[in-house]
Amino acid sequence: MAHYVSAKAGVLGMVKALAHELSPHGIRVNAILPTTVDTPMVQHESLYRLFRPDLEHPDRDDFAVAAQSVNILPTPWVDPVDVANAALFLASDEARYITGAALPVDAGAVLK
């Protein structure tokens, strides 16, 4: 996990630095931090096996059980539209004074 944690910390540091550097130009910089998103990137057999090594041929339902354990809300993943809605909010006038923020769309995963 060191590579993932290091990369994420670097991105969040870059968001804060860019927000600071670009703010005089009226440019806002934010990050969206999703949990598992229901996309082909995660819905495939090799990831199912990674999360459920106890099963010979795990499927989507088996993966859902493991993915659910990451979140505190009762869902194994979020839908792509949930991430898109967060992006739309951050790009909207309603978020005009939000910059340098990290917005979790993570079903409470960060609270674990």
Burial of 12 (0-12, 13-18, 19+ CB in 10 A): middle
The per-residue DSSP string of 33-84 comes to: EES-BSSTTTSSHHHHHHH-TTSSS--HHHHHHHHHTT-SSS-S-B-HHHHH
Please give the positions annotated as active site.
4
Taking CA atoms, 85 is separated from 32, 38, 88, 109, in Å, by: 10, 15, 5, 18
